[in-house]
Chains A and B, each alone.
Chain A
Amino acid sequence: MGHPNAGLRLALAGAMALGALAGSAAAEDVKKGGTVTVHMNSEQRILNPALRASTGVYNISGKIVEPLIDKSYEGYVPVLATEWSTSPDGLQITLKLREGVNWHDGKPFTCDDVAFTAMEMWKKLLNYSSTLQQYLDKVDCPDPHTAVFNYSRPMPLDLFLAAMPDLGHPMPKHLFEGTDIMKSPLNTAPVGTGPFKFVEYERGQYVMAVKNEDYWREGYPYVDRIVWRFIKDKSAAAAALEAGEVQESGFIGVSMADIERLSKDDRFDVGTQGYENNVAHSTLEFNHRNPILADLKVRQAMYHGLDIDYAIKTIMRGFAKPGRGPVPSAGGANYTDDVTTYPYDVELAKKMLDEAGYPVKDDGFRFKLRHRPAPWGEYTQLWAEYYAQAMKEIGIDVEILTNDAPGFLNGVYRDHDFDTANGWHQFRSDPAVSTMVWLRSGSPVGTPWTNQFGWQSDEMDKMIDDAASELDPAKRAEMYHAIQRKAMEELPVIFAIEHPFISVTSKKLKNHHNTPRWNSSSWYDLWIDE
């Protein structure tokens, strides 16, 4: 099946998709029961996906709270919403809601919950979503199982659909209404409609959920209990996997050396399957306020000086590919590889730097750059070190300033106290709700992961705004191709490496990584063979 075409007002048949999944599960003899233990590297503490948009939150709460729509390898699949359609002017999106679904406390799920969550949380409080939903005026409930989203500016249906699996988790209105939402105890003890019910959360140790006996998908889930254990030390996490105490470690939760080692161990499945929707870019960011870096020729020369294939082989152990601008190859129709590229060529890089007017001086260097690496773990740090090394080859002296997370975010995004920086940034299904913030100007100073690079292009701003409200998917894809080409020509940021995340999964787990956002999904069909 091709990429879902939103213009056709598709209404996917839920039964069909469900049947297909159930069929593949029945191929082997499903064993019911058992406990699945999952390794978590860091602790999000808030478990309400309608307040915090982060894979760290979905990893846990995705089993307890369900989104309206999820994504499978075949396209968007109905969860709490069963059908979706849009008005021709793009100002109204109508969802049919699933009937007979109950919250974990037994109260029925209705349109009131959707309307309440959309207006009070998605629009006001949820990171990323408050930008997406800023033109949402109101949500009407003509009947308890129909929700009509009314926008004051056109909302492309494919943008809405792309956002929903992450940014579309309804919360029970009857438990939140009239309380201070941010301070609600439910934010750390979520009540949802999902296949698992929240049991307890021991800070710094674990979160536990048990099977929801009243789940709306008949016969599911298979597993009795899920435990998420917080293990910060990556070597200890690898030991826990090997000792069989943990069956799944996602999002590159163990060191790259252990990933490579365990990938040869026949007790584990190691790979990037199931992360198609969670692709990230390892970046190189420039401070264009530095006149040297403001020179396009210098940035292009630096790109030529980076051996991306070597970095992929050594740092990412082959689990990645070269970046081609702000849309990754996992971005579907919005992606194009018809862009300018900068193959590794040291001599060319040197020549370009000479031509740009930066010859090698007596100390052996052309100029010096202060680099801030993001402290997001092993491979990000290695990428920074590789970058510094590669720049030395072409006569650029890169000094690495080590900092912790707040130090990094402040130094780069608020104080702009850097020449270059690196990190990774996640692509969230649609460019409009993710990578465009790297290119669009006008973000207030201090907003992390936005264009704080001192790069501004009226033309690019207009292209981004137009693409965000274009209703025709084909035209919209064209527009993103143009943006990609322009970004690769002008290099405001280098989207150097496109990498999905990596999971280490015990072979005892069955039906794992069978959707493009599996670690965030509900795991209703997961079972454990023991």
Chain B
Amino acid sequence: MPLTVPPILAYALRRLIQAAPVVVLIMIGTFLLLKLAPGDTVDALVGDMGGADAAFIERLRIEYGLDQPVWVQLWRYMVKLASFDFGWSFVYEQPVSTVLMDRLGNTLLLMATSLSLAFTIGVLLGAIAARRAYSLSDNIISTLGLVFYATPSFFLSLMMMLIFSVKLGWLPVGGIKTIGAFYDGWKHVWDVALHLVMPTAALSLIYLAFYLRLMRAAVLEVAELDYVRTARAKGAGETRLMAHHIMRNALLPVVTLLGLQFSTVLGGSVVVETIFTLPGLGQLAYQSVIQRDLNTLMGIIFLCAIIVVVVNFLTDLLYARLDSRIELK
């Protein structure tokens, strides 16, 4: 008797096998791309130090294995990666896994909160705007959305900082916690939350416009469709019509966008993280390129590749749930 596998597991397994070569190709491509950039991590380190003599530089290169041909370096890296060893960051003088884990939490917290807020509020406001299309409230919502979307994130962040930290003194300027306060328990949670208010607000205000515009257009479109008219003819109330018939179908394109944005969640936001000095992955990735910190950058890209694969899979599952015409093959 053949072994029966639940279809969803078989689907997951097939997706996993498909993903492996993609991830390997991404890793090799990134490695080679970074090698094409002029200079290496020793140049960057020496640049930070303000100079060094030739013997010192030579010794560092040998120690970091940078004196070997590129192919040897690539082979060594891939062999290590095969056993999930991300290697050593010469810039941070720590194992790459430690460097990544230190920052992963911050980025996930920031991005997940911002995206959820942007998604929820954006969908709600979009739906309201669509139901009252071309009214005053629609105009206000749409205009505000566009204004925040058009504001550069660094400007929005700095303005918030100027108002809420410098002028009013309500919120801390940056960082993830009050240094040297040694809070624990709920005090610590509250402290971190306070530090995240401005960066989260800045990011979600910018993302918000996407969801708002998309949801508004989708609701307007779906509301004209036959099955909505049918439902209305059958006597469904406006609330039921909105919640069951329109929203559910209008959510499809919005979920696609959410999936796309969640794939980039580990990239974080370089600008917002830098301004608010949040030690996250976005800032780390940016610094790693500047510092030519190959191992760290490769580690981040590996994590990102994995997340993209997982989120794509989850998005497909969600599609099937929202629209029963879609089947998992």
Contact = CB atoms under 8 A, between A and B. Distances in A.
A binds B: yes
B279 A446 contact: no
A175 interface: no
B92 interface: yes
Contacts of A46: 93
Interface stretch (B24-32, B108-116, B171-179): B171-179
Given A243-B166, A411-B38, A127 B158 contact: no
Interface string A410-421: 110001000000
A203 B94 contact: yes
Given A204-B103, A208-B179, A243 B169 contact: yes
Interface in B40-54: 40-41, 43-44, 46-54
A236 B277 contact: yes
A53 B49 contact: yes
A76 to B, nearest CB: 22
A257 to B, nearest CB: 13
A202 interface: yes
A231 interface: yes
A455 interface: no
Nearest to B88: A183
A420 B275 CA distance: 33
A52 interface: yes
Interface in B49-69: 49-57, 59, 63
Interface stretch (A60-68, A337-345, A401-409): A401-409
B276 interface: yes
A239 B284 contact: no
Q: Which of A45, A57, A131 has the most CB of B within 10 A?
A: A45
A443 interface: yes
A425 B48 CA distance: 12
A229 B49 CA distance: 18
B92 A448 contact: no
B162 interface: yes
By size class, the interface of chain B is 35 or more
Contacts of B172: 243, 245
Interface in A232-254: 232-233, 235-236, 239-240, 242-243, 245
A426 interface: yes
B93 A188 contact: yes
Interface string A156-188: 000000000000000000000000001000011
A204 B283 contact: yes
B39 interface: yes
B179 A243 contact: no
Contact of B47 (A45, A409, A415): A409
A236 B174 contact: yes
A128 interface: yes
B228 interface: no
Contact of B38 (A53, A225, A410): A410
Contacts of B92: 45, 203
Contacts of A125: 56, 59
Contacts of B283: 204, 232
Contact of B50 (A55, A203, A225, A410): A55
Given A45-B91, A232-B277, A403-B38, A54 B53 contact: no
A127 B49 contact: yes
Given A231-B277, A232-B274, A127 B56 contact: yes
Nearest to B63: A182
Interface of B: 37-41, 43-44, 46-57, 59, 63, 91-94, 99, 102-103, 158, 161-162, 165-166, 169, 172-176, 179-180, 274-277, 279, 283-284, 290, 292
Given A205-B279, A239-B166, A447-B54, 4 more contacts: A206-B179, A239-B173, A405-B47, A407-B37
A-B pairs, 7 with minimum CB distance: A406-B39, A127-B52, A204-B279, A406-B43, A405-B47, A444-B54, A410-B39
12 contacts: A53-B49, A56-B49, A57-B49, A182-B63, A232-B277, A236-B161, A240-B174, A242-B166, A405-B47, A407-B39, A443-B54, A448-B43
